[in-house]
């Protein structure tokens, strides 16, 4: 007797209106998603980041919808390669992220689902700032720069996970300092001997395993609380 296989997740190229611009994105929709994770890339990267896409694929396999999107328009991205004038503009990046979260939560298939944010490098700062402006269930930072969130750090209320490479000593210290300014439930996972890009053998697999487990726990708890309220 053949076993019934679950339907593959639906991958859709989308235009995300946000803060007066339209941003390119890729939305993945599994059947009956348990939550949605929005990815926030770092400076010089975009929605095609292989590291983020690897985590997103694992999340989709576990039944979570995902959105990877470009924080900059195509002309902005071209100009930024030379000037690098936008990758540290956390106010701009967080504003566009807030717009993307609003767009996600208004989609019929995703409305009412708990939202998690996965931020990398400077995108982690944008995710933390956005978490103080809109309702999100959790934030995960991979090799992030939470220090760039500045005065927003003490105002973050959702559970937050920092994943850092053990050999990424400067960023590791910046993460530890940021933790000291935060009042939200927070955890840190250090990947031994890994650098900032987690290129070492097994490093990215560990990042994916830890992040997917964290989102499963936190988004599941958020969904349970919502069910109790209704």
* Residue 186's CATH number: 3.40.50.1820
**Which contacts (CB < 8 Å, 24+ apart) does range 194-201 have?**
194/165, 194/166, 194/167, 194/168, 195/165, 195/167, 195/168, 196/121, 196/143, 196/165, 196/168, 196/171, 197/51, 197/143, 198/51, 198/142, 198/143, 198/165, 200/165
Does 176 reside within a domain?
A: yes
Q: Give the residues across from 33 on adjacent strands.
A: none
pLDDT for 206 equals 98
Instruction: Report phi then psi at 48, rounded to 5.
Output: -95, 10
Does 44 reside within a domain?
A: yes
pLDDT for 227 equals 61
pLDDT for 5 equals 43
Does 2 reside within a domain?
A: no
Parallel, antiparallel, or unpaired for β 10-18 and 160-165? Answer: unpaired
pLDDT for 105 equals 94
pLDDT for 205 equals 97
pLDDT in tens, 112-137: 999 999 999 999 999 999 999 999 99
Q: Number of folded domains in the chain?
A: 1
Which range marks the domain in which residue 107 is found? 10-229
Does 218 reside within a domain?
A: yes
Residue located via tokens 């470009």: 70
CB of 100 closer than 8 Å to CB of 18: yes
Which stretch of DSSP H or E encloses residue 39?
Answer: strand 36-40
- pLDDT tens for the chain, 230 residues long, are 334 445 678 999 999 999 999 999 999 999 999 999 999 998 778 898 999 999 999 999 999 999 999 999 988 888 877 777 788 899 999 999 999 999 999 998 898 999 999 999 999 999 999 999 999 999 999 999 999 999 999 999 999 999 999 999 999 999 999 999 999 999 999 999 999 999 999 999 999 999 999 999 999 887 666 665 65
Does 155 reside within a domain?
A: yes
pLDDT in tens, 182-206: 999 999 999 999 999 999 999 999 9
* Contact residues for 207 (Cβ-Cβ < 8 A; gap 6+): 51, 55, 142, 163, 191, 198
Does 158 reside within a domain?
A: yes
Does 99 reside within a domain?
A: yes
């Amino acid at each position: 007797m053949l076993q019934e296989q679950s339907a593959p997740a639906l991958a859709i190229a989308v235009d995300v209106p946000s803060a007066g611009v339209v941003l390119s994105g890729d939305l993945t929709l599994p059947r009956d998603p348990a939550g949605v994770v929005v990815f926030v890339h770092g400076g010089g990267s975009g929605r095609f980041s292989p590291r983020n896409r690897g985590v997103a694929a694992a999340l989709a396999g576990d039944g979570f919808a995902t959105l990877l999107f470009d924080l900059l328009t195509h002309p902005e991205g071209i100009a930024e390669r030379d000037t690098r004038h936008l990758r540290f503009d956390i106010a701009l990046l967080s504003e566009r992220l807030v717009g993307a979260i609003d767009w996600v939560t208004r989609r019929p298939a995703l409305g009412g689902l708990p939202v998690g944010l996965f931020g990398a490098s400077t995108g982690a700062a944008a995710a933390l700032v956005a978490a103080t402006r809109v309702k999100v269930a959790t934030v995960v930072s991979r090799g992030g720069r939470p220090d760039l969130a500045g005065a927003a750090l003490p105002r973050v209320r959702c559970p937050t996970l920092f994943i850092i490479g053990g050999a990424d000593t400067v960023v590791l210290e910046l993460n530890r300092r940021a933790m000291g300014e935060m009042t939200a439930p927070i955890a840190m996972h250090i990947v031994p001997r890994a650098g900032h890009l987690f290129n070492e053998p097994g490093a990215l697999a560990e990042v994916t395993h830890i992040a997917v487990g964290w989102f499963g726990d936190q988004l599941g708890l958020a969904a349970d609380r919502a069910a109790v309220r209704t």
